[in-house]
Amino acid sequence: MMTFTELLKNRRAIRDFQLKDVSLDIVKEILKESCLAPSASNGQPCQFIIINNREILKKLSDESKKNLLQDFFKNPASLNPAYEARMKDENFNVYYNAPCLIYVIGSKSVSSLDVDCALAISYIMFGATQRGLGTCWVHLGSNIRDQKIKAEIGMPDNCRIVAPIIIGYPKEIPAASERHTPQILKIVS
């Protein structure tokens, strides 16, 4: 079992995966652990949809890309222009060809939903790392709007996607991207 220092080192954003599938039992174990994350007033609002079918993942990727491009044409400020070419590239899969995806979702009415889910997601990331898996929070993959597709994946109308987390066995663990030292503005002693 990894120590915390090893977890810190090995928890990296993974965007390149082995072909190997991820067992649903392992994903369920990881999600069970994530329920130990703290949440505002112990509200535990996180809900999950697991997709581990590559064909459907491709369809979801296309749906998200289509909507991102539509938004971009209406309002160019909605997308970093660096992503435009990728969104137009038929071969680019917004989920980086990961074998498995977890949509972390929750009720639109929960005001603390984003931070509650983000805390649980860090548990998912560490839990995956602990098991030799890699993850990445793919914000570009959260634009699922087609009602038929939403029904197909079981996305309730009162919920929204906080984060699509891709998960799979990394081809390699990349070095950490550059980090600055902690920005401590003041110490009041």
Question: Which residue, 7 or 69, is less far from a copy of itself as judged by CB?
Answer: 7
- Distance (Å, whole) CA 125 – CA 134: 7
By the 10 Å C-beta count (0-12 exposed, 13-18 middle, 19+ buried), 61 is classed as buried
* Residue 20 sits in the site that holds a copy of itself (CB under 8 A): no
8 A C-beta contact, residue 169 and residue 134: yes
Q: Which of residues 64-93 bind a copy of itself (CB under 8 A)?
A: 80
Candidate list 31, 68, 110, 133; residue touching a copy of itself; CB under 8 A: 31
Rounded to the nearest whole angstrom, what is the least distance from the CB of residue 58 to a copy of itself in the complex?
13
Tokens matching residue 98: 């990961």
Name which of 81 and 182 has its Cβ closer to a copy of itself.
182
Neighbours of 132 (CB within 10 A): 12
User: If binding is defined by CB under 8 A, does position 154 make contact with a copy of itself?
Assistant: yes
**CB of 101 within 8 A of CB of 57?**
yes
Give CA–CA dist 49/155, Å, rounded: 8
Say which residue the tokens 């889910």 belong to: 117
Position 8 contacts a copy of itself (CB under 8 A): yes
175 binds a copy of itself (CB under 8 A): no
Residues 109-148: x/- map of binding to a copy of itself (CB under 8 A)? ---x-xx-xxx-xxx-xxx--x------x-x---------
* Shortest distance, position 90 Cβ to a copy of itself, whole Å: 22
